[in-house]
Structures are given as structure tokens and as C-alpha cells.
Amino acid sequence: MMPFEAWPYPRWIAHRGAGRLAPENTLAAFALGYAHGYRMFECDVRLSADGHAFLLHDDRLERTTDGAGEALQRTWTELARLDAGAWHSAPYAGERLPLLAQVLDFCSAHDCALNVELKPAPGDARRTGTTVAAQIARHWRGSPPPLLSSFEPAALEAAALAAPGLPRALLLEHFSADWREATARLGCVAVVAEQTAWTSDTALAVGAAGLRRLAYTVNDDAEAERLVALGLDGLITDRVDHFRA
């Protein structure tokens, strides 16, 4: 995939909808992030046992729902009944896990961009990449197209086969020796790296490779200023009430 001639995404991206202000990866979080002026969102997408794409960060259900166990072992009918808001605060009690289709509809209706992190359970990378990419390609009606990212090369490989027109980004905690080969092989347009991995050297190298540069999770003023000075294209933040999008 060729990089965009002009990067079509906003610099500031709301982490999991609204950072920590609302229960992460819920429609309530997207609505709150939008109310704070954000027009691009990052979210985590995985699959239920019966192949429904929905939003959830963890492999297990305990941290952000009233369920228990591995999410991959539950059907969507079971997952749809869970409370995904009470863990955060009482006003959000009863908030549900959203389907990817609901989030795509929200972003299309509100003219927002989206970064979908492919977050497969162990052993489910290829099914996740295939299913999520194909659904986005069928369902998305806005512009620009969602940016798919993942730490799992197998998920990005499967996504590329299912929907080659969707842009892809490699997620990195640190820059390994083979990051150039990996991004080239996967047809990536960008690298999304942990904020401290970005230095003048890595920013220069990624730019020289023709790739865009994004950082997670940027919550500190000084760090934001440093990354902007390095020329980063995207900053993913929890602090949607602090940084002006």
C-alpha cells in the first residue's frame, strides 16, 4: 500500500473513546470524546466465539465488565448482556459492550476518523484480521478510511488480504531490528509506537522509510511538546479534557 500523499487524519486521537473520563471502548466514551471536540478515536476490536467483532481491550472480562473469563469463549449473545460501565462509575452503570458496526455508524454519522486496533485473543490473529477488515470494508461509508493497527503481524497480514484498500500501521513498544522489513512486508503506511520509543533518530528513520509516525499514550504536556517537535503525525491521549483536538 502506498502512503497517503496528504495525511488525512487529525493529530490528536482520543484513546479508547474518551480516555479515562468514561468507560473505555463504549459508545458513551465515544460520545464524550466527541463532546470534548475530538474527531478521531482509537479503539480495540476483537471477536466473540461466534465471530462478532466488538470492542474490548483485555482478553478477559473481569476488569471492564461484570463478566468473568476469556471473552473469546463467549458468544455475542452472552457478551451483549454484560455491564461494561459500572466498573467505571455509577452514572455509566448498564453501559454495554458495543459492536464494531455501532462504532462505525457513530463515526460515519459524526464525520469522525477511526484507528481500529486489531486486538486478537491468543491464537485468533488471522480470524480477527480477516473478519474485522472485511466488515469495515463493507460497512464504512465515511472518509478517510479507518486506520488498522496491531502488535500482531499475522492480524495485519490477514487484514491486508481481506481488505487491501484499508491503511495499516504496525504497533510497537520499542523499535526492533526488523521494523523496516516488517512494515514493508505488511504494506504499512504508519508506525504507532510507545511515546518513549520516539527519539530524533527513530523519528528520522521512520520518516525516511516513507511512513507516518504516531505515538501512544500521550498524557503529559512536556512529552506532547517533544513529540510535536519531532514531527509526529498523531498523538493518542487519555486527556481529552486537557489537550485541544
Alpha-helical segments (H) within the chain = 27-35, 76-79, 100-109, 125-139, 153-162, 179-186, 200-208, 221-229
* pLDDT, position 152: 98
Beta partners for residue 40, in sequence order: 113
What is the pLDDT, as a whole number, of residue 243? Answer: 98
Strand partners, 214: 192, 234
Which of these is catalytic: 15, 88, 139, 174? 15
Span 12-237: which CATH code? Answer: 3.20.20.190
pLDDT tens digits, 123-158:
999 999 999 999 999 999 888 999 999 999 999 999
To the query of whether residue 36 is one of the catalytic residues in this protein, the response is no
pLDDT at 2: 53
Counting Cα atoms < 13 Å in the Cβ hemisphere of 107 gives 31
Q: Which three cell numbers stand for residue 91?
A: 452514572
Whether 110 is catalytic = no
- pLDDT higher than threshold 70 for residue 3: no
Of the residues 52, 57, 174, 242, which is catalytic?
57
Segments making up each domain of the chain, as ranges: 12-237
Which residue is associated with the grid cell 452514572? 91
Place of cell 455475542: 76
What mean pLDDT do residues 87-112 have?
98
pLDDT score, position 142: 86
Q: How far apart are the first and last CA of the chain?
A: 28
Query: How many residues are there in the chain?
Result: 245
Q: What is the pTM of this model?
A: 0.97
Q: Kindly report, residue by residue over 163-206, the tens digit of the pLDDT.
A: 999 999 999 999 999 999 999 999 999 999 999 999 999 999 99
pLDDT-derived band of residue 1, with 50, 70 and 90 as boundaries? low
